[in-house]
Structure 1
Amino acid sequence: MIRQTCILIFCLAVFPAEGKKVNIKLATLAGHGSPWDLRLREMGQNWRDESNGEVKLTIYPGGVAGDESAVIRKMRIGQLNAASLSTSGLAYIVPEFAAVTHIPLLYNSDEEKDYVREKLSPELIQKLEKKGYAFIHWGEVGWVRYFAQS
């Protein structure tokens, strides 16, 4: 099973009046300096460049803004505008996300997992949008492993 993440932006809090600078505050569990953190910083620089400095991305890495449920609560009250969430975090918003990735040994291959995600994504993303979130992209951080003592 692949641990999947996505970036969400809470739409209502992000888009400013025209000509006004905006600072998008994004939280992630990815550690500072990790490949995920570096890609987010690159994305932020691209946004700044493309907007001629009108859009700034401030990243709160390594869980400093709290766990995923806390981050979602902070998005709802406007303390944060965006988050990089795992499917566990997404399931706090749309419970059906858990069914896609949380069943051990559900997929026999990456290709099968990709096929299922491709087919289910439109419906899941629509459910996020109905709750006021904008989906930016999927990402993967590797296979989840289960361990037991006996």
Structure 2
Amino acid sequence: MNNSHYTFIRRCINAAGFLTLLFVCANATAARPLTIKLATVAPKGSVYHRVLQEMGEKWRAAQGGNARFIIYTDGIQGTEAETVRRLRIGQLQASMLTTVGLMEIEPTVVAMQFMPMTYRNFAELDHVLTSMRPKMESDFANKGYRVLLWGMGGWVQFFSDRPRVMPEEFLGAKIFTWAGTKDQENIMKSMGYRPIVLDMSDILPAVQTGMVDVIPAAPVWALAGQFYRNTPHMLRVNWVPIVGATVLSNTTWDAMHPRARVALTEAAAQAEATLREHRTRLDEGAIEAMQKRGLTVHEPTAEVEQAWRRMMEPVMARIRGTLVPAETFDTVQSLLAEYRVNHQ
């Protein structure tokens, strides 16, 4: 056999070995169990936790191969900013975040939650979210994340240590403000208010020690966090809606079996529908439970509500282009104007 024959045979053996190696590696990758670690500030046992559990079980069954879906509730993986950092470095693969966390990934989402007294009801919010959703989800995808579902956590109300109703009665009060929202803090200061910047985990000790007098929060969070006991007066003004989303890294999505992607998409849609169905009930149920434990609810008169809206008029001009990107701000206002004309 001449040298050319030996060379040909050697090349065939090398090629076969390389293909075998590729086959083995591909099968090893396919066989490796996929784990999704998801973090959220939502309380354990809450409806938010339950829909995540149901979604995870359906995905796990479809993925097979000893796949795991691990949920970390109650902010035990850190603040939402810390959670996003963990997502970026691959310690977590998914998270159910409020707007405070989502804005760390994609800033335009702030329009859903950081425009006070803008949305009058859930119907208006639904209209804006439905209209802006495709663009926002595309923006998240470009940042490396797939939005699985959107959810609402009720309306933010003002919980105070003593009766406060008119806007000027909150001047001088120490008001909790989310950490990581510097523009909001600056706007509040310019209005004469005293923002106290804290992470969610610090709210209860802060209110117990008098570090904070007023907590803007959705009733379900006030009940879960138990801080309404030290702020037993609630002004019901529907300040802003709590809006959130559950995101998953594109890398994890790409690693899934195709049937698991279908199962997860369907389960996420069902989870979103469940949260939408419960959102009003959650607010009312939480308020009722707190009232039984001593909470006093102050319903605003038309005069009080008008005073709050007048107070916000000059502030909205400062929010536009700082807290909320100008183009996004204008889009929201245009969508609301269109909706209100058609739903008078």
In the superposition, the TM-score normalised over structure 2's length comes to 0.37
For residues 26 and 96 of structure 1, what CA distance do their matches in structure 2 show?
23
How many angstroms apart in 1 are the aligned matches of 2:145 and 2:40? 16
Match for residue 97 of structure 1?
A: 109
Question: C-alpha displacement at 1:54, in angstroms?
Answer: 4.2
The answer to whether the aligner puts 1:50 opposite 2:62 as a matched pair is yes
Higher helix share: 2
Q: Which has the higher contact order (CA 8 A, sep 6+)?
A: 1
**1:19 Cα deviation (Å)?**
3.1
> Out of 72, 79, 93, which is 1:81 matched to?
93
Does the 8 Å CA contact 2:38/2:93 hold for their aligned counterparts?
Answer: yes
Residues 83-126 of structure 1, C-alpha deviation per residue, up to 9 Å, x if partnerless?
00011211111111112221111112211110000111111111
Runs of 4+ in 1 over 6 A off after TM superposition: none
**What are the equivalent positions in structure 2 for 1:1-16 lying under 5 Å apart?**
none
For residues 54 and 119 of structure 1, the distance between their equivalents in structure 2, rounded to whole angstroms, comes to 39
| Counterpart mapping for 1:22-61 below 5 A | 22-61=34-73
CA drift at 1:51: 2.0
* Cα distance per residue 1:1-40 (max 9 Å; x no partner): xxxxxxxxxxxxxxx9433211100000011111211211
Q: Secondary structure of 1:93's partner? A: coil
Q: Which amino acid aligns with 2:141?
A: E
- Aligned length, in residue pairs: 135
1:69 aligns with 2:81: yes
Q: Aligned residues: percent identity?
A: 36
State the alpha-carbon separation in 2 of the partners of residues 78 and 63 from structure 1. Answer: 17
Larger proportion of strand: 1
Structure 1 CA distance for aligned equivalents of residues 135 and 101 of structure 2: 17
**Correspondence 1:107-126 to 2 at 5 A:** 107-126=119-138
Whichever residue aligns with residue 78 of structure 2, its letter is: G
Measured in 2, the distance between the counterparts of 1:126 and 1:116 equals: 16
1:19 paired to 2:31: yes
The correspondence for 2:146, drawn from 129, 134, 138, is 134
1:92 aligns to what SS in structure 2? coil
Shift of 1:130: 0.5
Q: Give the Å deviation of 1:147.
A: 5.0
In structure 1, C-alpha distance between the alignment counterparts of 2:159 and 2:108, rounded to whole Å: 25
Task: Kindly provide the CA deviation profile for residues 32-57 of structure 1, in whole angstroms up to 9, marking residues without a partner as x.
Answer: 11121121111111111122344311
What is the alpha-carbon distance in structure 1 between the residues aligned to residue 142 and residue 79 of structure 2?
23
- The change in CA–CA distance for 1:53 and 1:37 in structure 2 (over 3 A counts) is farther
Aligned to 2:90, the other structure's residue is in SS state coil
- Uncovered stretches (5+) of structure 2, i.e. residues with no partner: 1-27, 170-344
Quote the Cα distance in structure 2 between the aligned partners of 1:144 and 1:51. 38
CA contact (8 A) 1:91 1:97 kept: yes
Do 1:29 and 1:63's aligned partners in 2 also have CA atoms closer than 8 Å?
yes
